[in-house]
Structure 1
């Protein structure tokens, strides 16, 4: 199983990506899609944008490694991960994880596993840019680590 991984600035189209994955996956019984969006923020000062950086080549390789681990745990037929970088406004799509498998249990579990490990292991750096001009780099969250620990 090969997982197609793309890091890009441009928006993606969920429908186009789903159709492409179905072509790659062949005859499967389940396809799970997770699309994450930039939250507008829960701070007193509204978020203007979320800025993401990555380490080209390294980030893609790490996501492929995570996908290979998922494929070793569950019988998945194909997967697709797109993660955006650059400056993204609230409400914009930031990440897409698609997983196809013979049955829904494997597809759901693998998609959740991929997303949990993307949040904790993939080398991205996120900065919150607020409407007042202030900025803050986003620290790792204990809740993301806790979500990941259930897979061990």
Structure 2
């Protein structure tokens, strides 16, 4: 008796939202939980941190159209790598204050390993490759936030897996 052929992977249509407005984390998670085959939902929410103690505001800029396309490409790659039933990326732009939500990544899958790995993959790519530019305003003036070597190093772990 032959094994039945595996069912095809579900087609995932990533939810990509780029907005100035705050978002409802609970509503976004509920969308991911809606699938009857979903056994795990992983969400990550990034917030504006006042690392130096003097942050007044962070302004996030982007190019409409280009940004959404880049986020969709990243989300679709995650859905190709892991068996996901849902992918959500929400990212804010404009002026934000310390403590405000900046972004959210959510993944849904039958199993937690895939949901966690995909969420981690998305975060690493968003931190280093998403087309957003951040400017911080402090008592000392304004300045652009530079890329961090740690973010590039985190991205390298996914490149190493591509070589396997």
* TM-score normalised according to structure 1 size: 0.94
Number of residue pairs matched? Answer: 148
Give the Cα separation in 2 of the matches to 1:64 and 1:26.
24
> CA–CA distance in 2 between the matches of 1:22 and 1:115?
20
**Which string of whole-angstrom CA distances, capped at 9 and with x for unpartnered residues, describes residues 65-116 of structure 1?**
0111111111111111100000110111101001000100000000010011
**Which structure is richer in relative contact order (CA contacts within 8 A, separation 6 or more)?**
1
Matches within 5 A, 1:3-152: 3-23=14-34, 25-42=35-52, 46-130=54-138, 132=139, 134-152=141-159
Please list every run of at least 4 consecutive aligned residues from structure 1 whose deviation after the TM superposition is greater than 3 angstroms: none
Gaps of 5+ in 2: 1-11, 160-164
Separation (CA, whole Å) in 2 of partners of 1:73 and 1:61: 19
Deviations 1:10-56 (A, max 9, x none): 11111111112222x3321100010011001226xx00011000010
**Which of these two proteins has the greater Rg computed from alpha carbons?**
2
Aligned counterparts of 2:36 and 2:119: Cα–Cα separation in 1: 18
Give the TM-score of the pair, scaled to structure 2: 0.87
